[in-house]
Amino acid sequence: MLFGNGAAPCRGSAIFRSGVRGRPLRMRVWSVLDRGEVYTTSVMASVHELNATYAIPGILAFDEPVEGFPRAVVTSPACTAELYLHGAHLAEWKPAHAADPALYLSPKTIFQQGKAIRGGVPVIFPWFGPRTPEVTGATTEGGQHGFARNTPWELSFAAVAGEDVHLVLTLGASEQTRALGFDQFRVSLEFRLGRELTIRMTVANEGEQPLVFEEALHTYLRVGDPEKVHIHGLGKTEFIDKVDGFQRKTQAEDVLTLHGETDRPYLNTAATVTVEDPELLRRIVVRKAGSQTTVVWNPWAELTAGLKDMPADGWKHFVCVESANASENRVSLAGRSAHILETHILVESL
């Protein structure tokens, strides 16, 4: 596991912030279902409360650039980053040695309760794509990619150890999730933000019966031109070509290049993926653990034209490489147990 035994490595001095008396600041949530989408209104911990409890002077602060969307802002010697409590959504990460941000965030993203933020790292759980009976039971209620990315999470821990900032957010069952058939679960996301990025997603089954789910860290990697990048690590791997009638195919070439809309869940792979970018003169390396699916996605021009939250040329600035467990790699988690998915991203110069 990329985080080792789960404890954050501490070199030199460390500063820790946790919720009052060890508990996270709580929020009240009300929600309804409308046309299959999850809409949430909430009263969350205020920015003042977040700063009073978790801020670390000169390194970690909280603001609210859009009403109802509190944000953690990291400014450390190692990186800058922005993380919204809505969806536990990492919107920006730029290591100090990089000339450009590592992630793409759409300048037209719609900040609205019940909608996902477009770009960065959306958190997909407990199903991937549209909900299907084969994956999560008899019902197909619920919107695209589950409810985790549309829901406010709770911040429960903040620390700086060496140059790295550590943040932990959690999500548990609510009236909203119970209405969709998900009752006895808890999810945590641990972010280690520094010159490298590590995200650890833990899903705990608090019930006695198996919990079946899909998951993904839908990472939008910023690139100079998706038609010029070279993607290594997926050669000779079977994938589902969702652009070509969901046909099962095997990638014959060792290096993947993109020439049109691409939507491919690669199955039964734990391989490291490297995106070489000759335009930005860098490579982005994506390592993972606890993941058997890697998704490569770019909507290209035609599909992007139908996305209200992305500019017409938005597709030219990213490629998604997602650490996931989806389709036949979905997780069936025994009662009273936990599953961990981790992704580790670093940026190197060419």
Q: How far apart are CA 41 and CA 146, in angstroms?
A: 17
| 92, 190, 322, 342: the active-site residue | 322
In the block, residue with structure tokens 């150890």: 161
Largest CA distance in the chain: 56
Q: How far apart are CA 183 and CA 205, in angstroms?
A: 9
Q: Residue 315, Cβ neighbours under 10 Å: how many?
A: 22
Strands (E), 195-271: 197-205, 211-213, 215-217, 220-222, 230-232, 238-241, 247-250, 255-256, 262-266
DSSP-assigned beta bridge partners for residue 155: 169
Among candidate residues 174, 218, 184, the one with its CA nearest the CA of residue 204: 184
Tell me, yes or no, if 261 is annotated catalytic.
no
User: Residue 234, class by beta-carbon neighbours within 10 Å (0-12 exposed, 13-18 middle, 19+ buried)?
Assistant: buried
Tell me, yes or no, if 218 is annotated catalytic.
yes
- Enter the tokens of residue 32: 């309804």
Among candidate residues 250, 233, 232, the one with its CA nearest the CA of residue 241: 250
| 89, 166, 218, 339: the active-site residue | 218
Q: How far apart are CA 206 and CA 178, in angstroms?
A: 14
Spell out the residues 6+ positions from residue 287 whose beta carbon is closer than 8 angstroms to its own. Answer: 2, 272, 343, 344, 345
Spacing of C-alpha 154 from chain mean position: 16
**Residues with catalytic function:** 218, 322
